[in-house]
């Protein structure tokens, strides 16, 4: 059966690589739907135009992909009063090793006036911009909707004054020479991606692994900030039930000024772990709202 998958495009993005890791590249098994924006991926999965949507969520160097956190909040927590939360869930995750390359068609690097990349990239390559490889004081850094969109802009540029920071895959697709490879500050730079869908994705080929199977349950909630210790009361429930938390994040709630939503990732499978189920039931009493975003298998294959 062919699965339809939306992702932040065009082809050649790191998100495209996450798609290939999750679903493979066999045209009898996958049809790809590259989208211009992360928000378009949410729209496509909600409208069931596709079976899955893959979106970036966090990077090991510079943290949250805030666009995705805010979309999760907008879709699950602040839906318009007349609409209910969406039916799609987080069904899987992928980790992709991110190696950034500086590429341009221009032979004379002094001609470069503009560098394009995705906004998430700039703070993953700070050492490159501190180096004297180019005269950065006279070069503008311009945001593109993705790294491969940045590569496309350079490919189409007739002035020969542009460069981009993008993936090896984009370099091949747009035949852009890599002048400086692997310019990421940290050689272990990794981005984590979420797979959104209505059911579990087809199983990946078995990988020999020494790591035990582990599941992550992802939730979003809001609290009454005027209650002293409200967040502490939530967290202590997990401690009391011997449940481990793997991440906590917050973003402005958009419900009122200086009020936040919390994103919590918990180790455990909500379908089988009764302690976890019970903790969430208890928790929902102390939260203003609580929504489960999904329970999915930890992707040990690339997580380290």
Ligand X SMILES: O=C(O)C(=O)C[C@]1(C(=O)O)C=C[C@@H](O)C=C1
- Would you tell me which residues interact with ligand X (CB under 6 A)? 8, 13-15, 56, 59, 65, 98, 118, 120-121, 146-148, 191
First to last CA, the chain: 32
Closer residue to ligand X, CB minimum distance, 164 or 292: 164
Q: Phi and psi for 223 in degrees, rounded to 5?
A: -130, 165
State the minimum distance, in angstroms, from the CB of residue 32 to ligand X: 13
Q: How far apart are CA 135 and CA 123, in angstroms?
A: 18
CB of residue 180 vs ligand X: minimum separation in angstroms? 17
Q: Minimum Å distance from CB 249 to ligand X?
A: 15
Give whichever of 34 and 197 is closer to ligand X, judged by the CB atom.
34
Q: Give the number of other Cβ atoms within 10 Å of residue 254's Cβ.
A: 14
Query: Looking at beta carbons only, is 189 or 279 nearer to ligand X?
Result: 189
When the beta carbons of 79 and 181 are compared against ligand X, the nearer one is: 181
3-state SS class at 90:
strand
Q: Measure the CA–CA gap between 45 and 181, rounded to whole angstroms.
A: 35
Strand order, beta sheet including 260-267 = 245-252, 260-267, 215-222, 289-297
- Are 276 and 240 a contacting pair, CB within 8 Å? no
As measured in angstroms, the least distance from the Cβ of 7 to ligand X is 8
Name the nearest CA neighbour of 39 among 80, 14, 6. 6
Q: Which is nearer to ligand X, 145 or 279 (CB)?
A: 145
């Amino acid at each position: 059966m062919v699965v339809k998958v939306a992702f932040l495009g065009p082809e050649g993005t790191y998100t495209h690589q996450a798609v290939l890791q999750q679903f493979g590249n066999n045209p009898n098994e996958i049809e790809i739907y590259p989208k211009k924006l992360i928000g378009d991926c949410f729209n496509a999965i909600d409208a069931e135009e596709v079976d899955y949507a893959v979106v970036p969520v966090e990077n090991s160097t510079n943290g949250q992909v805030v666009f995705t956190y805010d979309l999760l909040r907008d879709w699950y927590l602040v839906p318009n009063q007349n609409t209910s939360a969406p039916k799609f869930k987080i069904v899987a995750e992928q980790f992709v090793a991110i190696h950034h390359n500086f590429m341009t068609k221009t032979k004379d690097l002094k001609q470069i006036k503009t560098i394009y990349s995705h906004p998430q990239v700039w703070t993953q390559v700070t050492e490159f911009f501190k180096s004297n490889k180019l005269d950065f004081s006279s070069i503008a850094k311009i945001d593109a909707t993705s790294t491969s969109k940045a590569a496309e802009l350079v490919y189409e540029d007739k002035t020969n004054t542009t460069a981009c920071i993008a993936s090896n895959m984009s370099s091949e697709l747009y035949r852009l020479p890599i002048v400086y490879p692997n310019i990421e500050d940290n050689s272990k730079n990794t981005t984590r991606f979420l797979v959104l869908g209505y059911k579990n994705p087809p199983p990946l080929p078995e990988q020999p692994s020494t790591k035990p199977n582990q599941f992550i349950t992802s939730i979003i909630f809001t609290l009454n900030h005027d209650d002293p210790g409200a967040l502490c009361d939530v967290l202590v429930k997990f401690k009391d039930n011997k449940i481990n938390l793997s991440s906590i994040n917050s973003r402005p709630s958009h419900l009122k000024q200086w009020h936040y939503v919390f994103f919590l990732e918990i180790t455990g499978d909500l379908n089988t772990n009764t302690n976890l189920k019970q903790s969430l039931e208890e928790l929902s009493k102390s939260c203003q709202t609580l929504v489960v975003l999904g329970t999915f298998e930890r992707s040990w294959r690339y997580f380290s």
